[in-house]
Structure formats: C-alpha cells, structure tokens
Amino acid sequence: MSGTERRFFTTPIYYASGEPHIGHAYTTILTDVLARFQRQDGKDVFFLTGTDEHGQKIQDEAEKRGVEPIELCDLMAERFEEAWKTLSISYDRFIRTTEDEHKAVVTAFLQRLWERDQIYEGTYSGWYCVSDERYWTEKDIGDDRCCQVCGREVTYVEEKNYFFKMSEWQDALIKQIEDNPEWIVPEVRKNEILGFLRQPLGDLSISRPKSRLSWGIDLPFDTDHVAYVWVDALINYLTASGAIDPSQPTDQQGFDDVTASWWPADMHLVGKDILTTHSVYWPTLLMGVGLPIPRQILAHGWWVVGDTKMSKSLGNVVDPLALRETFGTDAVRWYLMREMPTGGDASYTPERFLTRYDELSNVLGNLASRAISMISKYREGVVPDAESDGLNAAIDQALADARASMDDLKVHEAFAAAMDLARAANVYVEERQPWAQAKDADQAASLDETLATLARVLVVLCALFQPVAPEKMHELANRLGLEGVPTLDEAVTVGLAGQTVTPGSPLFPRVDPGWTADAE
C-alpha cells in the first residue's frame, strides 16, 4: 500500500434478480460522494460495488424467465454497470460473485472456518423467505406468517444444514460495539443491534442442500451443499480487498497477515434493512477465521412515499434514470444527497425535487453564469491579475464546515456549507456591483479585484461540489480555463490570473414550471 492515507468504501452487492432502482442508486451515490470527497481531500481511495449472483431468488427468477442463472446474472450485471455509468459512479472495482476468484476465496474462507472447528453439521427446521434468503423463527413471523423485511409469505422447511458457531462470538461482538460507539452509525441503529444482542445469539446456517438449491458455491467439505448466499455475498468485500490468495498453501493464504491489502474496509454502507447481516453475521464470521473486522458500518434510511418505503412490489419506486433524462445526472445526485440526512428516512415528492434543483440553478448556476459573463464582458475573457481575497473568510469557513460535516457523515450539511459559499458570493456581487465599477475608470482596480475574487471562489466551489456534481463541475472547471477539477487543497492556491474563461449555456437550465413527476 502507498504511504498516502487510504480509505476503502463498499456498497452492498445488489441481487442480480431485478433492475436498479432508487434504493440502489441512493446507496451507491452516497458511497460515491464519500469516496470522491476523500479523493478531493488527498486520500488514496478504493471503492467497491458489484452484484450478488447466487441463491434461491436468482435460481427461481432465471427459471421463471426461461434462461440459465448465469444468463440472468450477465444481463443484470450489465444493467447495473450501465446504470452506474450514467449516474457517474467512480467505482474502482465491480465484483460479481460468480467470478472464479471470488469462488476460490469463499472456498478458502469456509475451509478456514472448518479447520478452526467453527462449523458443525445439524438440522434446520423453521420458516424461510425466498425473497430475502432469510430464515425466521415462529416468534419472528407472527400470525400472518410473513417475512419481517419484505412482508412476503414464508415457507416452512426442514433440512440438513451446516452451522457456523456464531453464538460463541456474541460477547466479543457486544464488547466491540460498546467499546467503539461510532462503529455502527447512526446511534439509533447501533442501539437496535445492541437490543438484538440482548437475546441469546443463535448459530448461523451457512449452507443449503443441493437437492433444493443448486445455484451456489460448493462447500469444500461437503459438495452436496452450497454456501448460504449471505455468507457467499459478504465475503465479496474480502475477495476484492486482495487480502486472501486462495492459490497459496493453507498457511500462506493471507488470513494471518492482511497488511499488504486493502483489508479491513474503512466503511460498509448499507440500507438499514440489511444491518443485521453486516453488523452481526459478518463480523462474527471474520472473528471466526481470525481476521480484522471492518472499521465502521453506516446504515442509511429508506426513501419513502408518504409513510411507505419505496418498493418494487408496491409499485411506488421512482426511477432515478428517468429523472436524469429531464434534469441531468448531477441534479439527481444533488437531490438524493441534499434531501436525506445521512442515516434517516426521506420522502420523495416532485415539489421537493424542484426545490433542490432550483437551489442548484438559481444559486450555483446563476453565480457561475454571472461571474464568467462579466469577466468576458469587462476584461475580454481574461481573469485579471489582481488581489482575490475578497471572500477568503467565507472560503475558509466553507472548507472547514464541509470537512467537519463529512467527518461526521453529515453529507447534506457538507453540501449546505458549499451552497452557503455560493450564496455568499452572490451577495458579494450585489455589494460590489461590478456593472457600476465597470462604468467608472477610477474603479478599474476594484473591478479587477471583484472579478479575480469571483474566479477564485468558482474554483473552490468546483472542488467542493465535485463529489456530488462531477459532470457539471468538470464543465465549469473547463470554462475557467482549467483542465480538470482541482483538489480541495489545490483549489485555494491555484492561480487563475491570465486564464481565459469561456461562457456557455446555463449549467443547470431552468425547467418548465409545469413539470411534475409521480412515483412509477
């Protein structure tokens, strides 16, 4: 690894049984924004996403479509990659759990558990949800016999399984959470997991018999069984990190030394509905093989319509790609990051989307248009060589507030701070009145200072907004005569004197006031 401070961010890997939707988009854009901000702040970043391609749900959906499971997975992996390209997701690795490398790491991981006496054979009897690939107890499902997560009807099964001794790690997990209060954020989610752990922790079924499910990774110690899809899926983070080399002899595979890899992950970002698997199953499995656990888990909320979670089964899902066609990628990213406090729920409405879009258009976009137009009009498009310190205090405040908010994972507040800087610059224009300065030859130096200051603040705004609006900030940087968007540190020192600016169409064009969009 390089000597630069590093960050390893992960999204969940998404089931390859359906199309990308706003829930997937929110998680992935949030992760992308955090990753981009850390890159902007000089960190070495590894950003992982991908698709989860084994399990009952994939097998059943493929059968329903009349295709082989791998054909369905190929199609959906391509759909997700296309969606992330259109939403400007800057991932470093897109992993698929059907990759040979991942299969080999899962096999090595399970063999390690087996050799450390962490797995035993037993019989499972209880209620199973195919949609969420989860077992539930009689107490969990209630009188309506429905899954706690998706609400669908569960099925009673009784079969031979292999179990991981998860119960042996309950005390260690509780200590981890209590000793590290920021390990699970927000606090309400941490408390939910501690509440869950007040009851005895059962052992985890980690296999499915091939007689019922053939689409999975064989257990190395019993090829009549495949790995439970959640175990298979969680190990993707380890596969991508490069920590484990299953091609080596057992004692040299990397389980005892991960220092040359990206492991442990700095942050897993997940929806609150899969927090238990990531904060209970996953860390105890890692404890079982003797590996370090992730440094932090962020569980975000749901997008809701009224009081109801957006759900494909309920038919109330907003398609972020449809919004993108009207407003552009950056506007969709801005809305999702600006509207939802990290960790909480948020409600989508067309009215709120327009409010947030108007903020981009009327504050940031308007400032860029005014400043570049005035440099073009009053100084023939060349940034004056003059003092540019007129907004130094506002710049320093915005950078400090944005960094502090990102450190606290308050992404919406970080971009509020950036937008406050744009507002301060608009106020500066009104106070300085460059149009009046331009009419008075005695104020030529003052006009130069005004225009140089506005050019400088636009560079800083490029750097601050780049994580959320990468396309438009690259365009703005080019209009300012820069080849690309500078880092945060570069933005406060870059010299624009003598650079030629280029006017253009509005970065965020005004939208037909009669526009509406309903959940699809």
For 43-56, the pLDDT digits (tens) are 999 999 999 999 98
Confidence of residue 305 (pLDDT cuts 50, 70, 90): low
Confidence of residue 215 (pLDDT cuts 50, 70, 90): very high
For 336-385, the pLDDT digits (tens) are 899 888 877 777 777 888 889 999 999 999 999 999 999 999 999 999 99
Q: Is 357 part of a structural domain of the chain?
A: yes
For 226-266, the pLDDT digits (tens) are 999 999 999 999 999 999 999 999 889 999 999 999 999 99
Separation of alpha carbons 92 and 239, rounded Å: 14
Taking CA atoms, 452 is separated from 13, 254, 322, 323, 390, in Å, by 46, 54, 39, 36, 9
pLDDT given at position 516: 63
94: left (phi over 0), alpha (psi -120 to 50) or beta: beta
Confidence of residue 313 (pLDDT cuts 50, 70, 90): low
> Is 354 found in the same domain as 223?
no
pLDDT given at position 324: 84
Q: What CATH number did the domain enclosing 381 receive?
A: 1.10.730.10
> Is 391 found in the same domain as 276?
no
Least confident among 65-79, 317-331, 445-459, 499-513 = 317-331
Q: Is 326 part of a structural domain of the chain?
A: no
pLDDT given at position 519: 38
Over range 319-333, report the average pLDDT: 83
> Is 171 found in the same domain as 263?
yes
Bond before 264 cis per omega within 30 degrees: yes
pLDDT at 87 over 60: yes
Least confident among 17-21, 321-325, 339-343, 470-474 = 321-325
For 398-444, the pLDDT digits (tens) are 999 999 999 999 999 999 999 999 999 999 999 999 999 999 999 99
> Is 284 found in the same domain as 411?
no
> Is 269 found in the same domain as 354?
no
> Is 369 found in the same domain as 249?
no
Question: Taking CA 331 as the corner, what is the angle to CA 330 and CA 332, rounded to the nearest 5 degrees?
Answer: 90
Residue 35 burial by Cβ neighbours in a 10 Å radius (0-12, 13-18, 19+): buried
pLDDT given at position 310: 53
pLDDT at 520 over 50: no
b/e sequence 247-281, b meaning 16+ C-beta within 10 Å: eeeeeebbbeebeebbbbbbbbbbbbbbbbbbbbb
For 160-180, the pLDDT digits (tens) are 899 999 999 999 999 999 999
Q: Does residue 45 contact residue 35 with C-beta atoms inside 8 Å?
A: yes
Q: Does residue 338 contact residue 359 with C-beta atoms inside 8 Å?
A: yes
pLDDT over 70 for what percent of the chain? 94
Taking CA atoms, 194 is separated from 76, 173, 235, 343, 477, in Å, by 36, 9, 23, 17, 47
For 105-140, the pLDDT digits (tens) are 999 999 999 999 999 999 887 788 877 767 777 767
**Beta strand 207-209 pairing with 184-185:** unpaired
> Is 295 found in the same domain as 413?
no
Task: Retrieve residue 89's tokens.
Answer: 């997701």
pLDDT given at position 128: 80
pLDDT given at position 1: 44
Task: Retrieve residue 8's tokens.
Answer: 């390893």
pLDDT given at position 502: 97
Q: Is 97 part of a structural domain of the chain?
A: yes
> Is 380 found in the same domain as 241?
no
Among 261, 283, 300, residue at a domain's last position: 300
Tell me the average pLDDT of the chain: 91
Confidence of residue 144 (pLDDT cuts 50, 70, 90): confident
pLDDT at 513 over 80: no
> Is 110 found in the same domain as 39?
yes
pLDDT at 183 over 50: yes
Confidence of residue 315 (pLDDT cuts 50, 70, 90): low
Q: What total of structural domains would you count in the chain?
A: 2
Prediction pTM value = 0.92
> Is 247 found in the same domain as 355?
no
* Cβ partners under 8 Å of residue 149, min gap 6: 129, 132, 134, 273
Q: What CATH number did the domain enclosing 91 receive?
A: 3.40.50.620
Q: Is 342 part of a structural domain of the chain?
A: no
> Is 384 found in the same domain as 238?
no
Q: Is 191 part of a structural domain of the chain?
A: yes
Among 279, 300, 321, residue at a domain's last position: 300
pLDDT at 152 over 70: yes
Alpha helices in 308-365 (DSSP H): 320-327, 329-339, 350-359
> Is 201 found in the same domain as 128?
yes
Q: Is 422 part of a structural domain of the chain?
A: yes
Task: Retrieve residue 326's tokens.
Answer: 């009207």
Taking CA atoms, 95 is separated from 84, 237, 283, 362, 465, in Å, by 13, 9, 20, 40, 28
For 1-57, the pLDDT digits (tens) are 455 799 999 999 999 888 887 788 889 999 999 999 999 999 999 999 999 999 989
pLDDT given at position 328: 92
pLDDT at 312 over 60: no
- SS3 for 204-252 is EECEEECCCCCCCCEECCEEEEEECHHHHHHCHHHHHHCCCCCCCCHHH
pLDDT at 517 over 70: no
Helix (H, G, I), strand (E, B) or coil at 506: coil
Return the amino acid letter for 430: E
Q: Is 224 part of a structural domain of the chain?
A: yes
pLDDT at 392 over 80: yes
pLDDT at 142 over 70: yes
Return the amino acid letter for 312: K
* Cβ partners under 8 Å of residue 223, min gap 6: none
pLDDT, greater one: 465 or 513: 465
Among 243, 267, 300, residue at a domain's last position: 300
Q: Is 204 part of a structural domain of the chain?
A: yes
Structural domain of 366: 349-491
Confidence of residue 309 (pLDDT cuts 50, 70, 90): low
